[in-house]
A and B are shown apart, each in its own frame.
Chain A
Amino acid sequence: MSIFRPYDSDHSAAGCSCGRHSDETEHNAEQERALAARATNVEHLTNDVVEEAVLRAMFPQDHLRRHFLRAVGANTVRAAIASVLPLGALQAMAQEKTGPIEKKDLKIGFIAITCAAPLIMADPLGFYRKQGLNVTLNKTAGWALIRDKMVNKEHDASHFLSPMPLAMSMGLGSNPLPMRVATIQNINGQAITLHVKHKDKRDPKQWKGFKLAIPFEYSMHNYLLRYYLAEHGLDPDRDVQLRVTPPPEMVANLRAGNIDGFLGPDPFNQRAVYDEVGFIHILSKEIWDGHPCCAFGTSEEFIKQNPNTFAALFRSVLTAAAMARDPANRALVAKVISPAAYLNQPETVVQQVLSGKFADGLGNVRNVPTRADFDPVPWDSMGVWILSQMKRWGYIKGDVDYKAITEKVFLLTDAKKYMAELGQTVPVGAYKKYKIMGKEFDPATPDAYVNSFAIKR
């Protein structure tokens, strides 16, 4: 800008320091107005607070900070900080925390199994309350009802089997309803339990004609059991009968001899051992170490209408998962989720599941600390694997856009964001490779993976 502006009507002889005002007093008044406007804007204020906090943290001494700012200029400092710190993300997060919660009273559905430990324990331990939520946990009778109550909007958010939100979003087994998975509730934590009369039939090849129970068609249990049977040369649709049975009814059916075994959630595997009707054949961890099982999520509609509520829910469940993850806390977790209001199981049974030190029903005490674990990251590659098995067993037909569906349903980016906000270690990447019973799964080539199996539909 030139000093000489002979044709500028705004130019005055007196001038101000920026040249846009007729004199210095008007210039100052304008600046004050701008500052006042900024002070009433919540968004600006929050951003300023974050920047101020960061700056003060970096230069605790006032005079040093002022010298530095004067020497290099505010914009340079801002750019320098932004290059090492996610300033934008920090500001966005601070924004959300200050946002009012749209819906305080929430109903969350759950099935009384240890997989739901994080979302259950968040209630007695007060994690929901800490985020300003008033949550009612509704014990639900079966997975189909979990789905229906989510569709009916009786529940605001829910415990799911991790394949359910994918299936519901695609309209498998119900009308299509876009669902979102906030976190994976748990990894591992399932087992194949057989009736005690089959103690000598440890080779799956001897299982022809068996009746085996699974909790739901769209469940990890179904896909893991099918995978396990097929790897041993059994066709899960022809050589055995797979029966959908709600988890609590599995032990009763096993005792009655209606079924020969089940791949089911805990604590019912351990409960079958405790009641001396079954033994643990293998843990699901021995099929795929680190497999996802249950998930926590809600509908896309709910998130759009209540973004701050959802963020608060997300933070509560992540906090609970981080606590459940630490083996030192497992005894406490078992204690708070065992009473009648939640799992309604003997504490010693839940304790054995969570600590991994358990009686296997064959007379041995086994010690597997990672029998059940709680890793909340909803990896996209997990979703791709689930879809690959749905494709393999004919639940979905035709071409599948594995990545597009998964990335829409699994809120990996959000999980990472909230984990960072809570000071948790944030994982990198989205597509991990897995080894399942020694066979490698590459999420980059799901169709080739599906075609590589001898037994498929």
Chain B
Amino acid sequence: MNSSTSGKNLSMRAAVVSLLILLVFLLSWHLATAPTTHATPTAAMTAEQEEYAKLMGGAGTSAAADAAPAKTTGFPTPAQMGRTIVRQLSHPFYDNGPNDKGIGIQLGYSLGRVALGFIIAAVVAIPVGFMLGMSPLMQKALNPFIQILKPISPLAWMPLALYTIKDSSVSGIFVIFICSVWPMLMNTAFGVASVRRDWLNVARTLEVKPLRKAFLVILPAAAPTILTGMRISMGIAWLVIVAAEMLVGGTGIGYFVWNEWNNLSLTSVMFAILIIGVTGMLLDLLFARLQKYVTYVE
């Protein structure tokens, strides 16, 4: 009773501190980026100076300033950021042809690719992990290959994938597959290998058939470890997709970042970063839920 109220109290206080940190961050951001306007007297400018200022996107005359959209250079202010967030999120699913789509559609493409690469990786990694976990010989034999392939950066795979697969979209999925397969494989093997001996012995005395044993004894026992592997893999897959799409272009949140960089629009890039972070967090939460679901108390 007492501990639960203090726990609630702690969460409340933590939320207040979080909010305070956010406010301090926004305020210092605002102060750091506040425009320093040294107003040049328009009357003093010659006709050429005025025209030059207009070509530079500045407000040569008040009429020009009204007509042209505000020029944004330098680091965006929190206000500009807020406007971008509202603008992007109010039309998340617009589609103006292949090179101009709303953030929702781009996010959909990325999630689709991640899901596909991730599912293929799971289909490959979990059975192979089972095999490795049950057979110490295979584990020893395959270990050197896994150790060499595991630390390779996703972007190093990209040129090879493009050359052999000859399709940029499939290459992106392949890169997600190859990078998310290792944590699942290692964790499954580890989980299967460390199932308690007593349980296996009980299964042996009861003469349970191998397939039944795998599904009814080993899988539930190893499930929490397998899901930990899947959670790590999903985090990696989400990291990889952005990089891969920036490199290959076409569609997706990574392409969105690249395209806005092309426009040198820092505000939109920061907006995309925010979206990537939030999506990553939601994916992680999803796997945390699943993990909780399969965890058992001994």
Contact = CB atoms under 8 A, between A and B. Distances in A.
Interface string A343-371: 01110100010000111000111000000
Interface in A221-267: 248-249, 251-252
Nearest to B166: A152
A252 B262 CA distance: 9
A341 B96 contact: yes
B247 interface: yes
B220 interface: no
B48 interface: yes
A306 interface: no
Interface in B18-74: 48-49, 51-52, 55-57, 68-69, 71, 73
Contact of B100 (A145, A152, A271, A339): A339
A153 B162 CA distance: 12
Given A149-B168, A275-B264, A141 B55 contact: no
A364 to B, nearest CB: 7
B248 interface: yes
A137 B99 contact: yes
Contacts of B264: 248, 251-252, 271, 275
Contact of A154 (B55, B97, B167): B167
B250 interface: yes
Given A274-B56, A346-B71, A348-B68, A148 B98 contact: no
A139 B166 contact: no
Interface string B137-174: 00000000000000000000000001100111000000
Contacts of B249: 138-141, 145
Contacts of A149: 168
Contacts of B69: 346
Given A152-B166, A251-B264, A346-B57, A275 B250 contact: no
B55 A248 contact: no
Interface residues of B, number: 33
A154 B100 contact: no
Interface in A116-149: 136-141, 145, 148-149
B258 interface: yes
A342 interface: yes
B259 interface: yes
B258 A152 contact: no
Contact of B261 (A154, A248, A346): A248
Contact of A141 (B49, B56, B73, B246): B246
A152 B55 CA distance: 42
A317 B146 CA distance: 51
Contacts of B250: 138
A145 B248 contact: yes
Contacts of A340: 96, 99-100, 259, 263
Nearest to B261: A248
A148 B160 CA distance: 11
A310 to B, nearest CB: 22
Contacts of B260: 344
B97 A341 contact: yes
Given A252-B264, A274-B57, A346-B71, A139 B167 contact: no
Given A141-B249, A271-B264, A153 B52 contact: no
Main SS class of interface, A: mixed
A251 to B, nearest CB: 6
Contacts of B261: 248-249, 252
A52 interface: no
A352 B55 CA distance: 8
A412 interface: no
Contacts of B98: 136-139, 341
Contacts of A358: 55
Contacts of B258: 141
A342 B56 contact: no
B167 A141 contact: no
Contacts of A112: 262
B252 to A, nearest CB: 12
Interface in A140-184: 140-141, 145, 148-149, 151-154
Contact of A365 (B55, B68, B96, B162): B55
Given A152-B162, A275-B264, A276-B73, A363 B57 contact: no
A220 interface: no
A344 B56 contact: no
A142 to B, nearest CB: 9
B52 A248 contact: no
Nearest to B263: A344
A263 to B, nearest CB: 19
B56 A276 contact: yes
A273 B100 contact: no
B166 to A, nearest CB: 4
B266 to A, nearest CB: 10
Contacts of A364: 48, 52
Given A112-B262, A141-B248, A148-B162, A359 B52 contact: yes
24 contacts: A136-B97, A137-B97, A138-B98, A138-B99, A139-B98, A141-B247, A141-B258, A145-B248, A149-B168, A154-B167, A249-B261, A252-B261, A340-B96, A340-B99, A340-B100, A344-B262, A345-B263, A346-B69, A348-B55, A359-B55, A364-B48, A365-B51, A365-B52, A365-B55
Given A141-B249, A152-B162, 4 more contacts: A137-B99, A145-B247, A148-B162, A365-B55
Interface of A: 112, 136-141, 145, 148-149, 151-154, 248-249, 251-252, 271, 273-276, 339-342, 344-346, 348, 352, 357-359, 363-365
Q: Lowest 9 CB-CB distances: which A-B pairs, in order?
A: A341-B100, A359-B55, A248-B262, A152-B166, A141-B249, A344-B263, A340-B100, A341-B99, A139-B99
